[in-house]
Structure 1
Amino acid sequence: MQNLLYVSQSVADDLKESIGMNIERYRSGSFHDLEATGEWRYTLPVQANLAALSQLDPSGSPESEITNSMIVGQAFASLTPVLAREARLWTRLTHTDGLEFARKRWLKAGQSDLQVERSVSKHFFANGLTACRDDHAISRLWWNHYIAKGALPEDPERALRMILSRSDIRSSLVERPALGARMPVTRAIIRTLEINQGLRRNENLFREFMKRLNLYGAGLVLEMFDEEEMDFFLSSLVPK
């Protein structure tokens, strides 16, 4: 375990502005020479297991997304949602300890310089909550685990299997702050998805289900329902 480090804002800005000049570093090189000088080593009062990043699977398969989310969530277990929004932390990681994973996951052989530049801009930097939560190579995995653990503290992997089963399900459960903050509802949605295979396999059915939840759940304090009541209510919203 070691303390997390982050770069200064000027370093983060310089890296973002000089992606084109550093294309070969991103493709096959490193930033060790830059990291050894300048403002790359500001310390956060949080420890993490950075060695675990070497275990990440860059294949991009559905199973790897689940496994990687578990690895990052456990390795950065002490991180809070507030600190997890710090772009300079994630920017440092994808230019140091997490560079190899980010490169193999998001940079493909045969990409032009312009394509590499676009991929780096999207997946190696985490400016803003949306980029941090949904696009950054490593931070998105932390947010997956954070929502899953909040939904099912005793078995976050089980929750991840539902949350990551389709992109639109992740969008509904991770990318919507209002719903993500209502963990009893999120837990009930996960249970409903487990029971109704068609719901998690059919995009149209799931979209209609969420519309009904937003419509008929509006004005109800669903958090006051017990688990049986919640499950019954959500099952009544599943399109037949």
Structure 2
Amino acid sequence: MVAQLKYLSDKALAQVKASARYNVARYKTDGFADLADDPGWNIGLGVDYDNALLATMDLSTPRNVAAIDMANSRIVGKALAELSPTLANEERVWVRLTHIEGFTYSRDRWIGTAGDAAIPKLVEDHFFASGQTRIRDDNAMSRLWWNYQIARTCNPDNADEALGLILKTADIRSNFVERIWMTSRRSIASAVLELIKSEPWVTEAEQNFRKLMRSLNKLGGGIVFEVLDAGDIDRFLKDCVSYARMLT
């Protein structure tokens, strides 16, 4: 079912932020559904999404966080496929989603059984999204969308496979996704994902992938990857692996 994405006004955003520490009971229980049609909470974005698909998010207790994050990233990415990266950097879109359409998931995933004293900080981190880094990494809903968006950018022919590689471990996700210079450059990003598949050393220990990223930073400075062919990039990455193996 298709519906229109909504977002909050600046005033509504400021109000819900300021009152977060007083709304612990709301965040623990039924949330903010009573505000869904309030004029400040119900501004049309002019972008459609699949609300039926979004409603299928996995709400189970995350015993296997990577697997559940992968399933939910796929759902959110496909349900909100019409959202542009520019609009996806708007906090008011994600605050609406974490407080209304995606509230149950956001609550169960990030608040769970936390005590009252811990909830205001969890809410600040995962229900709001002040700045690009928090939108990409912390907000309960936007981080899932960005996972899928980056996977789709890296491998538009098989975004699901790319997503599985990016989310193989939390460490890979953080080291890969945080390097926007790389994930916005499809040729090198796709090649790194292929390397994860083909070179066991890269992921057999967390520090190995970190070393690879360090070698990419050191050896890749100044290289215009867009003008290199696939063979050149593969040779460059082999050099990076060799260099990474020597790092301590």
Aligned to 1:160: 163
Aligned to 1:113: 116
Aligned to 2:148: 145
Q: Map Cα deviations across residues 110-135 of structure 1 (whole Å, 9 max, x no partner).
A: x2212111111111111211111100
Q: How far did residue 81 of structure 1 move? A: 0.6
Aligned to 2:81: 77
Farther off after superposition, 199-208 or 120-129:
199-208
Alpha-carbon contact 2:152-2:158 (below 8 Å) kept: yes
Q: How far did residue 31 of structure 1 move? A: 1.5
Farther off after superposition, 70-79 or 19-28:
19-28
Q: What secondary structure, in the 3-state scheme, does the structure 1 residue paired with 2:23 have?
A: helix
Aligned equivalents of 1:211 and 1:21: distance in 2? 43
Within 5 Å, give how 1:1-240 maps onto structure 2: 1-58=2-59, 59-60=61-62, 61-109=65-113, 111-239=114-242, 240=245
Alpha-carbon contact 1:54-1:101 (below 8 Å) kept: no
Q: What secondary structure, in the 3-state scheme, does the structure 1 residue paired with 2:55 have?
A: helix
- One-letter identity of the residue aligned with 2:177: V
Q: TM-score, normalised by structure 1?
A: 0.94
Q: Which runs of 5+ in 1 are unaligned?
A: none
Q: Which runs of 5+ in 2 are unaligned?
A: none
Alpha-carbon contact 1:32-1:96 (below 8 Å) kept: yes
Alpha-carbon contact 1:50-1:75 (below 8 Å) kept: yes
- Report the RMSD for the aligned CA atoms in angstroms: 1.5
Identity %, equivalent residues: 37
Aligned equivalents of 1:220 and 1:96: distance in 2? 44
Q: TM-score, normalised by structure 2?
A: 0.91
Q: What secondary structure, in the 3-state scheme, does the structure 1 residue paired with 2:77 have?
A: helix
Aligned equivalents of 1:37 and 1:172: distance in 2? 40
